Amino acid sequence: MEKTLELILEKLGKMEADINGIKTELGEAKADIAGIKNQMNVSFMEVNEKLDRIEKNQEINRKLLD
């Protein structure tokens, strides 16, 4: 009976270590996702800036052609 309890405690300890490992991996994945979101936001901002410049250039071209 005592051996059985020791084995159960040992397995529970391993399970706890596995769970902690999974938590760590999830934390890293969340950080990766946050980084990707930031990169996407920067990319969208850059695209919007370029679109604004294109629109301004088109307006200037229209005025020059008139």
DSSP-derived letter for residue 22 is H
Q: Is the dihedral of CA 2, 7, 13, 19 positive or negative?
A: negative
Banded pLDDT at 66 (limits 50, 70, 90): confident
Query: How confident is the model over 6-62, as pLDDT tens digits?
Result: 999 999 999 999 999 999 999 999 999 999 999 999 999 999 999 999 999 999 999
| Residue 41 identity (one-letter amino acid) | N
Q: What is the pLDDT of residue 52?
A: 97
* CA gap 55, 34 in Å, rounded: 31
Look-up of token digits 């990707």: 36
Encoded tokens for 25: 């991996």
